Amino acid sequence: MPRLLVVDDEPGVRESLRMLFKETCDVALTESVDAALESLDRAPADAVLLDLVMPGRSGFDFLREVSQRPNPPPVVVVTATSSVSSAVEAMRLGAVDYVTKPFEIDALRRRVRSLLERRALEAEVERLRDQIEGRSRLGRLIGQSPRMQEIFRTVERVAPSRATVLILGESGTGKELVARALHELGRRRDGPFVPVNCAAIPDSLIENELFGHERGAYTDARDRKVGRFEAATGGTLFLDEVGELSPGVQAKLLRALQERTIERVGSHEPIPIDVRVVAATNRNLERDVAAGRFREDLYYRINVVPVRMPPLRERREDIRLLAQSYLERAHAEGHRGPARITATALAALERYAFPGNVRELENALERAMALAEGEAIELEDLPEVVVRAERTEGLRDDLRGGRISLAEAVSRFESELIREALERCGWNQTRAAEQLGLTRRLLKLKMDRFGLGH
């Protein structure tokens, strides 16, 4: 649903506009220019209805500021001021239309609908242009799949705002790369990017890491320490694995986000913070909220804009691109080994499920580069788990295609399992037989049958 921002100091007008558009838009109501700009920082709008004359800063101030932002929303001025000079100035500053109060309801509804349809069409044209141009990168994010293209568009749209983003996904999917892209494409790109792995810091130390401490706060606190929130001033604080925080730290994090102040350990003096927070987790936070493991109010505070990173098995069409990119980057960084991968090895990677996602793919390629002896990475250079999965998948394909019988497929699969057990046990038949649940005599009979020897 498109988001419509209303900026008017009159409660009656705000409510009238909310009632007028609530069926077709997500309507955000603000009573001042400052509140409207803060609302745009939290989440972008698809159109704005703006009054000109308000206490404090005027609608002209809003137009000046919003016109400097990337991809500004169309603004319709809705005001009781009907002078020609005001209308001319508003249009000069970027307003797309000028409507005087009292407005004609149907005409305003048609105008807003037209603007929103145009905005949606522009977004679709941009999406198709990206598709035609084959854009495959955003920062260090890589992917041509529809899921990744949608993530690219979300990141580009949200990055200029101050909205808190929650990145969801399995381990190894690239959640930190999304956070870095949000930082680098936003207005805080010149500030620091400060990552914090909440799962890697003991619960007894996480508060100290996030908020810092004063000298003498505890026995070993000989000097004042600046926490990660203060270190990220003017930039982005990335809270990775935020679902691992204890209830006590969750409460203090919520307070920091709500009040935009922190207190160092050992002090009661509030310190203002100017930080954009991006959080990530591989947990199901909705389930954790229902179970009482994660605060519901904190969940809604960090989940302003959710970004769901798909596992690699759901975007297999990106594996070729990811593999090529990794090999190029590794060579540029001075790694030795093949810069190419054979079609057979690539096909095996594309069929493998990758429970460890992109991180597992990169580890597999790093290993293959180190072990490969030829000019290109072969199937045999890949990790055993990938090779075994490929052989099993090959059997399935041959069976489905009618190229082998069920009996032959079972025989090949059994032979492969026995070979793997023997290799794991250094060809010690007694140990291999124990792993397979066979007697040593039966294992030897099967080895003779399948021609397995060492």
Please give the pLDDT value at position 398.
Answer: 59
Q: Are strands 165-168 and 305-308 parallel, antiparallel or unpaired?
A: parallel
- Verify that 66 and 76 share a domain, yes or no: yes
- Asked, for residue 425, whether it belongs to a domain, the answer is yes
Residues 442, 21: Cα–Cα separation, whole Å? 77
Vertex 104: Cα angle to 101 and 105 (nearest 5): 115
- Verify that 8 and 101 share a domain, yes or no: yes
Give the residue from 80, 95, 127 where a domain finishes: 127
- Verify that 254 and 323 share a domain, yes or no: no
Give the residue from 310, 333, 354 where a domain finishes: 310
The 10s digit of each residue's pLDDT in 205-222 is 898 899 987 876 666 666
- Asked, for residue 241, whether it belongs to a domain, the answer is yes
Q: pTM of the full predicted structure?
A: 0.67
Please list, residue by residue across 326-336, b when 16 or more beta carbons sit within 10 angstroms of its beta carbon and e when fewer do. Answer: bbeebeeeeee
- Verify that 168 and 84 share a domain, yes or no: no
- Verify that 174 and 164 share a domain, yes or no: yes
- Asked, for residue 235, whether it belongs to a domain, the answer is yes
- Asked, for residue 40, whether it belongs to a domain, the answer is yes
- Asked, for residue 132, whether it belongs to a domain, the answer is no
- Verify that 387 and 431 share a domain, yes or no: no
SS3 157: helix
CATH of the domain at 353: 1.10.8.60
- Verify that 162 and 207 share a domain, yes or no: yes
Give the Å distances, CA to CA, from 40 to 16, 312, 410. Answer: 21, 33, 62
- Asked, for residue 318, whether it belongs to a domain, the answer is yes
Name residues of the chain where pLDDT drops below 50: 132
- Verify that 305 and 316 share a domain, yes or no: no
CATH of the domain at 420: 1.10.10.60
Containing H/E element for 182?
Answer: helix 175-185
Return left, alpha or beta for 190; rule: phi > 0 is left, psi -120 to 50 is alpha, else beta: alpha
Domain extent for 446 = 405-454
- Verify that 184 and 302 share a domain, yes or no: yes
- Asked, for residue 420, whether it belongs to a domain, the answer is yes
| List of residues 6+ apart from 448 with CB closer than 8 A | none
Backbone dihedral angles phi then psi of residue 137, each to the nearest 5 degrees: -140, 145
Give the residue from 74, 109, 127 where a domain finishes: 127
Please give the pLDDT value at position 135.
Answer: 67
Query: How deeply is 248 buried, as exposed, middle or buried, from its count of CB atoms within 10 A (0-12, 13-18, 19+)?
Result: exposed
CATH of the domain at 120: 3.40.50.2300
Please give the pLDDT value at position 132.
Answer: 47
- Verify that 231 and 282 share a domain, yes or no: yes
Among residues 31, 24, 16, which one has the least CA distance to residue 47? 24
- Verify that 213 and 282 share a domain, yes or no: yes
Tally of domains within the chain: 4
- Asked, for residue 286, whether it belongs to a domain, the answer is yes
- Verify that 194 and 111 share a domain, yes or no: no
The 10s digit of each residue's pLDDT in 276-303 is 999 999 999 999 999 999 999 999 999 9
Please give the pLDDT value at position 46.
Answer: 92
CATH of the domain at 275: 3.40.50.300
